Structure 1
Amino acid sequence: MKIEEGKVVTLEFKVYDKQNGELLEDTKEVGPFFYIQGFGNFVPAIEEALEGKEKGFSTTIELTPEEGYGDYNEDLIMEMDKAEFVEFDDLYEGLDFIADMDDDTEQSFIITKIEDEVVTADGNHPFSGKDLRFEVTVEGVRDASEEEVEHGHVHFHGFDDEEEGCSHN
């Protein structure tokens, strides 16, 4: 089955910082990555490179920040009052969370520092501002279910989630 819009794609990949060769992510450590082709759930340049390919296809794709996760934006570093995190059971450096922004959008952040009553969080993707090299292998391709297409993301049945059957990958 070929990768095309509406197909669920299962990938194994390694991501390297092209400048220094540092391994940034390896799906062998965290499990395969799943997305629906053409739904904007993955890096567009990678989706484009995989269009029409099949299970077993492997390639290396190099991306500039513009093609990948964008330039690093200093404006996305925020200092917040620790009291704003009372709903969190455990507050620690490296914790990621979603914040509601003033413009009614949501933004993902990672806590980078906790000092006294000040929490510093970074809204940049960890790969932003980096030239990247993805080593990608297609592990599977299947039709997306009607429910997956309707929700716009892959479902993993048998896992507990707020929305039964949904995994927000």
Structure 2
Amino acid sequence: MTVVPPAQLPPIVLMGVSGAGKSVVGNALADASGRVFIDGDDLHPAANKEKMRAGVPLTDADRAPWLRIIGERLAVGDGVIVACSALKRRYRDLLREYAPGTYFAHLDPSREVLRARLAARVHEYMPAGLLDSQLGSLEPLQPDEFGAVFRVDETVDATVADIRAALAD
């Protein structure tokens, strides 16, 4: 088996709504592939975190500085994996302006799974009440976007294997 250095691999954005499994899959994918994982939530400006903590959905203007920070990190060229909701096409387009070869892995569990996950966890600044606004904002990947949808209905290891297989094509 040939091992490809992370710097020769495209950056990956694990996208999806809150509770989709971006952080869990991201950490497992990084461990399996020798890449760096960054949770995009950690890159939000403090004002964004406060709005979300208060249950207020972010606007596009709120997201713009955050997306620029993520785009700059994707552009480093080390094959980084970043968890970022990237719910709208224009957000993904902005990220691609920084790193054109970015692969978008849309983690897409069922609504029932999402609700159960959100009910079972306490997130620092993402209350379960924002799920409907996120689902309403979600614009699926288009055929001209480099990426794929992953149902994440199986185990984390199966999802990681599916993403790695998709990138091996």
For normalisation by structure 2, the TM-score amounts to 0.23
The structure richer in helix per residue is 2
**Whose radius of gyration is greater, 1 or 2?**
1
The structure richer in strand per residue is 1
For normalisation by structure 1, the TM-score amounts to 0.23
